Structure 1
């Protein structure tokens, strides 16, 4: 079981479903949310500038969001400023564009690209992948 997960999505229903499925599956002790990439970056910035080291072990990231989309989040998160952060990212998107899937592989923190909605099967698969 993970300690903390961050779900980044602009859809409140998707965020609610993520929380519900993750909690029911006992996949994580705590779940926090952000409505876009900018909120997620601000969260990581606040962690890096504080004594609280409760850094999420995993981020579920949507790609298509207002303000700062998933790609902009990944570009920012892939800079030296965040190099000490060991958080893994799972792109969780409704896009079916193979180019998006391929592009996500260029980011070292992205461990998978999965289609919405989140499911128990998906969490079981990720649990196995994260324990290898």
Structure 2
């Protein structure tokens, strides 16, 4: 059975992206995890892949906010300009090292951001994002 989980990680730090992929695959080895270190390329891929609006599997984006060329906030501004049929297929979570209350508040006010989580990605965060029960079967396999 193919996984219904499709997750896009947008973060300029390749090491963090690999950590995210590893943590996600601990819950579901079949999850489709796509990594982008360039937010502009992520937006282009999203436009291309989701423009048909026919995919029944929702997509989750884990978005960093502190990136050098296009910040997460700028990404969200560009995301807002995408067609609604694209936007409604995607749920965005901020995954950032920032502990600034202003960033957390800004994320909370953004209609496209579902929640704000601190880096690094943790097993409990994946459980919350994927809405898995605390006694999820994969917990038994985790060290």
The answer as to whether partners of 2:51 and 2:85 remain within 8 angstroms in 1 is no
1:31 is aligned, of 33, 49, 55, to 33
Alignment of structure 1 residues 1-132 onto 2, 5 Å: 2-26=4-28, 29-49=31-51, 53=55, 57-79=59-81, 81-85=82-86, 86=88, 87-128=90-131
Gaps of 5+ in 2: 133-143
Using the size of structure 1 for normalisation, the TM-score is 0.84
Q: Deviations over 1:61-115 (max 9, x none)?
A: 0011122110000011112x33222201010000011011111122222110000
Q: Is the 8 A contact 1:3 1:56 kept in 2?
A: yes
CA RMSD of aligned residues (A): 2.3
Could you tell me which runs of 5 or more consecutive residues in structure 1 were left unpaired when the two chains were aligned. none
Distance 1:67 1:105 in 2: 23
The runs of at least 4 consecutive aligned structure 1 residues that moved more than 3 Å come to 48-56
Q: How many residues align?
A: 128
Query: If you compute each CA radius of gyration, which structure gives the higher value, 1 or 2?
Result: 2
